[in-house]
Amino acid sequence: MKRLLLLQVIWLNIIFQGFAQTTDCKRLLDTKLEKIIPDQYAIETIIKQLLECQYIDTIDVAIIPSIIITKVNTAQTVKDWVDEMNKFKKTEDYNKIISIKKLCDELKWQEVNLKEWDDKKKQLVTCGVPESDLPALKTFIRQRLKNAKRAFIYWELVSEFFTLKKKNVKTQPKQEGIGIKVDTTKSPNCGKRSLTDKFHSPYGLKAYYDYQEALACAQKLNRPVFVDFTGHGCVNCRKMELSIWSDPKVLQLLNEKFVIVSLYVDDRSTLPKEKWYVSSEDNREKKTIGQQNFDLQMRKFNTNAQPNYHIINPYNEQELTKAFGYTKSTAKFLEFLDKGLKSFKK
């Protein structure tokens, strides 16, 4: 059961997102459990609302189903669930989950190379892939790499493999189009970028992870800022990166015409105490990277869903075009980028 939950949160990214800030957080905690158990839809709604109220985060989503199961006879309210979650966070088991999550987040963005299979398969097992699936997964990867005209990352192939398996679809490779890699000589180069030990961007893009650093670099290079509100557990963010960002025209524009700042709203890394502050938005103290990024999104951009994209002028931080969210249309995303660039050049 635990392995299945780990597999889901790491590779399939089962998570809830794209909601509006409408929940009465105090009333939510007082909700009686007999009203929602065993209604699966109600449970999912409660988890979504707990995320909205920041009582739990995206890592907790992998753990809370087991707490629901084990505490179903003793917990009386939703607050009891939250209390149990907070107790678990103080245990060694929870620290192990965090360590595994960090290892697997790094593995997800690494380029697939079957020459390293003996080493990588051990990491895949650690990240929740059953050993019994390794032979079939290796065969699937070999088929995908055969005659491929671009590189793949582990997140692409492992998530595709298990999605097809879940649907009982034969795991045969689909035809792959031509991909590109960014020309790093045209990437923003303004010196050291903070937090690159914690966050990574796809396709070799040199994104910033600190809002103020991105503004400073954009002013130096006279480029607009592409603000990317994202999350570790954001399914649609990964879909956008894989299907839209990978388009050669999109990738070239992002790399050569913008300064990218990717702000993870669910990252739980605690900042130094001198950087903590109480938000004017909700009067709560913001201690983590994720809390402060989400607060910035709420206060400055008046949005709270991910992915959420903004193009701003680095000199006055004004938006250059209407904000953009999830889409399956590369053409519409290119239009969004073009509008931002044209507005900046006026």
pTM over 0.75: no
- Low-confidence stretches of the chain (pLDDT beneath 70): 1-23, 33-44, 58-59, 61-75, 147-149, 166-181
User: What are the structural domains, with CATH classification, of the chain?
Assistant: 2-93 (no CATH), 109-166 (no CATH), 184-345 (3.40.30.10)
205-244 per-position pLDDT tens digit: 999 999 999 999 999 999 999 999 998 878 788 888 888 9
| pLDDT score recorded for residue 71 | 57
CB neighbours of 172 closer than 8 A, spacing ≥ 6? 143
| pLDDT score recorded for residue 2 | 47
| pLDDT score recorded for residue 159 | 81
| pLDDT score recorded for residue 129 | 87
The tokens describing 225, both together, are: 């800022």
| pLDDT score recorded for residue 41 | 58
| pLDDT score recorded for residue 192 | 83
